[in-house]
């Protein structure tokens, strides 16, 4: 995805502001290195053209994580309308001029996740294996993760007075035990593929060349610096509730500022000290004169 003009100018604007804080080429290299590393991470490829909307994945997810059902008033249908603290994955349907497609909503497990980078107590963690996991015992409930996530994934248990943040954890425990994620395991049609990120990208790219069936794009390859959950579909992924994002990893935007903290301390401290001594240079004399 090319960087559009506005974003280019935004970056240029930061430079013009006199701050040498814009992403250095070194920072870009760091991100590339991160993406390289990511290619060994666990990854899921959702192929919307193979999904029949049976919601077996939803049920498997709920039973694996013991999540309560979200029901209608008669308590007959399990029918969540959106992701929530109790629904970590959800099959939605797009029907429009461009065609019809199911789409599976869940955490994207970004290569460089904003949620983990903003969490003040490191309650959210990007593991080396790929999953972004949550350490509930650390969480202070500030909800910065919810604000920072470009996909709107982390949800809070609003009904509770100890509101944990909840989201798909990529079945990190199952993965550690050599198993597949519960949703991928349950999928009867092969719509949810599981493997290393490199494998999934290879599968995705080989499939989307069939432009009769697919729109030739792999969502998640570059978006927000890349995600471990990838999408291919018969309609434009942006119609499926996936946001339009550029290639920047979000933490790469504010890291230059955070990295500058020791410099700010040093420069401001030195400036103030120097100013103090300059403005008080005659103090001693006056005192002596007075005595």
* Contact residues for another protein, defined by CB under 8 A: 5-6, 9-14, 16-17, 19, 21-22, 82-85, 114, 117-123, 138-144, 146-148, 150, 152, 155-164, 243, 245, 250-251, 253-255, 257-258, 261, 264-265, 268-269, 272-273, 275-276, 279-280
Query: Is the separation of the CB atoms in 181 and 194 below 8 Å?
Result: yes
Q: What are phi and psi of 135, to 5 degrees?
A: -100, 95
- Residue of 29, 30, 45 whose CA lies nearest to 227: 45
Q: Which is nearer to another protein, 25 or 290 (CB)?
A: 290
Q: Which is nearer to another protein, 78 or 125 (CB)?
A: 125
- Residue 161 CB, nearest approach to another protein (Å): 4
Q: Which is nearer to another protein, 52 or 272 (CB)?
A: 272
* Residue count (the chain): 291
Q: What is the CA radius of gyration of the chain?
A: 24
- Residue 266 CB, nearest approach to another protein (Å): 9
Query: Is the separation of the CB atoms in 194 and 230 below 8 Å?
Result: no
Placement of tokens 């499939």 in the chain: 207
Q: Which is nearer to another protein, 23 or 47 (CB)?
A: 23
- Residue 198 CB, nearest approach to another protein (Å): 26
- Residue 189 CB, nearest approach to another protein (Å): 30
CB within 8 Å of 177: residues ≥ 6 apart? none
Placement of tokens 């005595």 in the chain: 291
Placement of tokens 């029907």 in the chain: 95
- Residue 163 CB, nearest approach to another protein (Å): 4
Placement of tokens 């890291």 in the chain: 255
Q: Which is nearer to another protein, 54 or 156 (CB)?
A: 156
């Amino acid at each position: 995805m090319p960087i559009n003009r506005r974003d280019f100018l935004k970056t240029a604007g930061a430079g013009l502001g006199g701050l040498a804080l814009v992403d250095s080429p070194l920072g870009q290299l760091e991100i590339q290195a991160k993406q390289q590393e990511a290619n060994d991470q666990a990854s899921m490829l959702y192929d919307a053209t193979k999904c029949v909307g049976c919601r077996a994945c939803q049920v498997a997810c709920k039973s694996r994580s013991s999540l309560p059902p979200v029901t209608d008033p008669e308590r007959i249908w399990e029918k969540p309308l959106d992701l929530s603290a109790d629904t970590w994955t959800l099959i939605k349907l797009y029907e429009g001029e461009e065609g019809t497609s199911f789409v599976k909503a869940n955490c994207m497990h970004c290569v460089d996740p904003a949620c983990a980078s903003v969490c003040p107590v490191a309650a959210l963690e990007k593991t080396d294996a790929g999953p972004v996991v949550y350490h509930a015992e650390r969480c202070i409930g500030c909800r910065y993760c919810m604000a920072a996530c470009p996909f709107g994934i982390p949800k809070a248990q609003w009904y509770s007075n100890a509101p944990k943040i909840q989201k798909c954890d990529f079945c990190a425990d199952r993965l550690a035990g050599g198993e597949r994620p519960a949703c991928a395991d349950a999928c009867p049609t092969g719509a949810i593929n599981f493997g290393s990120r490199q494998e999934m990208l290879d599968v995705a790219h080989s499939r989307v060349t069939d432009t009769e069936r697919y729109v030739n794009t792999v969502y998640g390859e570059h978006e927000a610096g890349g995600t471990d959950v990838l999408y291919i579909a018969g309609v434009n992924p942006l119609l499926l509730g996936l946001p339009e994002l550029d290639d920047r990893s979000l933490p790469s935007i504010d890291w230059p500022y955070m990295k500058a903290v020791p410099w700010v301390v040093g420069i401001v401290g030195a400036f103030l000290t120097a100013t103090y001594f300059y403005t008080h240079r005659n103090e001693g004399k006056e005192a002596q004169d007075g005595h």
